[in-house]
Structure 1
Amino acid sequence: MSDDRSERSDGKIVKMEIDYSATVDQRLPEYERLSHAVESLLSLEKQTRTASDMVSTSRILVAIVQMCYEAKDWDALNENIMLLSKRRSQLKQAVAKMVQECYKYVDAVTDLPVKLRLIDTLRTVTAGKIYVEIERARLTKTLANIKEQSGEVKEAASILQELQVETYGSMEKKEKVEFILEQMRLCIAVKDYIRTQIISKKINTKFFQEEGTEESKLKYYNLMIQVDQHEGSYLSICKHYRAIYDTPCILEDSSKWQQALKSVVLYVVLSPYDNEQSDLVHRISADKKLEEIPKYKDLLKQFTTMELMRWSSLVEDYGKELREGSAESPATDVFTCTEEGEKRWKDLKNRVVEHNIRIMAKYYTRITMKRMAGLLDLSIDESEEFLSNLVVNKTIYAKVDRLAGIINFQRPKDPNDLLNDWSHKLNSLMSLVNKTTHLIAKEEMIHNLQ
């Protein structure tokens, strides 16, 4: 919009009638005493506002708040901000300039009560005004930080959640993402994981493919790891660590990418078996950098090899490496000596048992319950419980004859499939007989000719 045209608070666009620039230039330096200066400037502001002189009105509004700030008259500053913003037919651009000037004072003020009052005044003035939405968002973030530092984390989270920055058209994408990440962080701080998941969906992960977004990317995925650790979603955590592992700044530091890749391996192994998990295991196995962390590569290979594993042997071979690490290969925080770490260690044992049952289902059609329990190093009741869970999740098919103590892994065929199979085999047999008959007839004809 050109300088001779401006928009009023009611949305009406008006043209400048009189240019007061010369008058303002002459009279601004004359006002030294604050009260007299403000009073005179308010009179001049009325003239410039009525004439729709946006540039001069902006200069006057900025000058008034500057005088109040320099005089450290905080009451006058707050009163004039409210007064000037509410004046009839006030120009939007002038209000925006005044708010932008006042925003600079927020960081400069060291007295906390004064700062809070100024923020409150500016947030009141900017409420519901699109043309100062960015300033309002920044003020709200500052207020949330103050509340958090004073220990009022719940209130800080509540204040910041008021902002719907994803709808702000004038705000840069990077700043929007930073605001949303801050909202997620505060929600996690108050253990509101459901709201955190809802807020996280406002960020399109394609944004992290742009240059200069690595720091935001790492912050986002670390927050998502905390959310999914609370939910116990190991496959999602594995994907988050893969995203961290694929970040250029992580790949440049061998210690960082090794820790990330170790976490990827451990969480994919901890994930319950399904098609997606199986596909991810094979894709991770193809990573050549696994050669540099051989223990973790061997562990992953154990779960892709169609052989039974013994838990005691696995603990003996990998337990110390996974839980304590070594000087050359530090351990991750997956199996720490905490309640969560112990739970994940127990889940690893469960994954080993489930892997073994899947192998049995592949190689056996029928097996006794006693024999299966012996192979799993579990009691019969524990074996039956694991088997039942896998059947319920449709990972394998099995039927248990409890009286006979026999498990049948063979899936019954559909009658139509049986009939089709019989028909196909019969056709193959008849084709073979027909071909054989032709060959015999051919041999007889050749023999007769000789």
Structure 2
Amino acid sequence: MTSERSDGRIVKMEVDYSATVDQRLPECEKMARDGRLQEAIESLLSLEKQTRTVSDMVSTSRILVAIVQLCYEAKDWDALNENIMLLSKRRSQLKQAVTKMVQECYTYVDAMSDLSIKLRLIDTLRTVTAGKIYVEIERARLTKTLAQIKEQNGDVKEAASILQELQVETYGSMEKKEKAEFILEQMRLCIAVKDYIRTQIISKKINTKFFQEEGSEDLKLKYYNLMIQVDQHEGSYLSICKHYRAIYDTPCILEDASKWQQALKSVVLYVILAPYDNEQSDLVHRISIDKKLEEIPKYRDLLKQFTTMELMRWSSVVEDYGKELREGSMETPDTDVFTYSEEGEKRWKDLKNRVVEHVSWSYFYVTLKKITERVDNERWMKMETRKYLWHRYLTTFHLYLHKIILILIKIK
């Protein structure tokens, strides 16, 4: 049997001490129960030196675990922390033995009710695991626990800072699902402290193809809901639409009519809110062919208005869709897109601008007379949309002027 020492050397077991350990452990346990904890620890430390010297990894691991168990059962927290530090620093200590000891101590953390004792143990374990790849997973879990404690105590900023120490995406021994859970927690805490730029950076550490794997649906939904919060802060409506589409396409959402309807409503509203460009136009048409839109007719009809080059009036949109979009109905609850909050009012205003923008793109398909009859005069020259309308007005005017000049030339 081979094992690895703390200095990186691979060594073979020279002597098997398992029989001696089998005999010594019960004796030391009895000593500890009789109140002679220190005597029991010293006896085990003496034996640990022998097993470590001959590279008996299994026996050394058993002894290290036994020492911390005796300290924990005796509730001697000073002895527990001191021996963790001592055993991890012993010359040419076996890595596998340290790993077993740390794993054992990790189970004590959740079992401790006294916060100060728990924090001290976490600090000790984080100290002995720092920079050691072979216990990187245990250190990551301890760090996550510490961050949770900080957050529960109201220090969210410190919790976010602590968790960002981890670069779990580089941990080869950690499973993909656990990596994703850590990264999502980092994202959540960054959003909690309004660090949206860092959240964007961290989000790129997750390969979204992972969400196609079985058992990852809950993580997928959490990821896209976090991304929605980020892009809502940035005001990136098209990105939000894509996030809701990803949620909508999730099997567990499609199985629940109320959930997929809410997701699809948000898809429709955010693609409409997104400023017009080729990508937005393409997405509008792809969404419009979804047969499930038939079950939310108001949203289907609203989307249809943005797929045809016909003029619409804002007052008509408010009259036909306002109550449904902002308050919902018995059949179809409202979304949180157009609430009466500050953010909801901003999005409502942006919808108004999109209506006028759509009119501007329909400009070449109607006469100027129809434009002036249908478009609300108050919106004709408003800030966000006047550049679209004015540009098209001048373009059309030049076309008419050019035709008039040609006619006059022919008359002459």
TM-score tier after normalising by the smaller chain length: over 0.9
Q: 1:273, CA displacement in angstroms?
A: 0.5
The correspondence for 1:27, drawn from 24, 28, 32, is 24
Summarize deviations over 1:334-385 as a string: whole Å, max 9, x none.
0000000000000000000000011013456xx59xx855542135871586
Cα 1:188–1:382 shift into 2, 3 Å: same
2:11 partner SS: strand
Cα 1:82–1:384 shift into 2, 3 Å: closer
Q: 1:20, CA displacement in angstroms?
A: 1.0
Query: What residue identity is the alignment partner of 1:21?
Result: S
1:200 equivalent to 2:194? Answer no
Q: 1:257, CA displacement in angstroms?
A: 0.7
Structure 2, unpaired ranges of 5+:
403-412
**Root mean square deviation of aligned Cα:** 1.9
1:182 equivalent to 2:185? Answer yes
Cα 1:112–1:384 shift into 2, 3 Å: closer
347-356 or 30-39, larger mean C-alpha shift: 30-39
Summarize deviations over 1:143-169 as a string: whole Å, max 9, x none.
000000000000000000000000000
Cα 1:385–1:25 shift into 2, 3 Å: closer
The match for 2:345 is: 342
CA distance in 1, matches of 2:253, 2:16: 58
- Following TM superposition, the consecutive aligned residue runs of length 4 or more in structure 1 with deviations greater than 3 angstroms are 361-364, 371-375, 397-401, 406-410
Cα 1:380–1:259 shift into 2, 3 Å: closer
CA distance in 2, matches of 1:255, 1:346: 27
Query: What residue identity is the alignment partner of 1:220?
Result: Y
1:357 equivalent to 2:364? Answer no
- In the comparison of the two structures, how many residue pairs are matched? 395
The match for 1:15 is: 12
CA distance in 2, matches of 1:207, 1:252: 21
Cα 1:28–1:409 shift into 2, 3 Å: farther
Query: What residue identity is the alignment partner of 1:12?
Result: R
The match for 2:46 is: 43
Query: What residue identity is the alignment partner of 1:129?
Result: K
CA distance in 1, matches of 2:125, 2:118: 11
The match for 2:410 is: none
Query: What residue identity is the alignment partner of 1:262?
Result: K
The two structures have a TM-score, normalised by structure 2, of: 0.92
Cα 1:408–1:318 shift into 2, 3 Å: farther
Q: 1:27, CA displacement in angstroms?
A: 1.2
2:394 partner SS: strand
CA distance in 1, matches of 2:108, 2:382: 69
CA distance in 2, matches of 1:350, 1:329: 25
The match for 1:150 is: 153
The match for 2:387 is: 388
The match for 1:225 is: 228
2:3 partner SS: strand
The match for 1:109 is: 112
The match for 1:123 is: 126
The match for 1:258 is: 261
Q: 1:282, CA displacement in angstroms?
A: 0.7
1:382 partner SS: coil
CA contact (8 A) 2:356 2:379 kept: no
The two structures have a TM-score, normalised by structure 1, of: 0.85
Q: 1:26, CA displacement in angstroms?
A: 1.0
The match for 2:407 is: none
Summarize deviations over 1:415-435 as a string: whole Å, max 9, x none.
xxxxxxxxxxxxxxxxxxxxx
Structure 1, unpaired ranges of 5+:
392-396, 413-450
- Pair member with larger Rg: 1
Q: Percent sequence identity over matched residues?
A: 81
CA contact (8 A) 2:357 2:388 kept: no
The correspondence for 1:59, drawn from 62, 66, 69, is 62
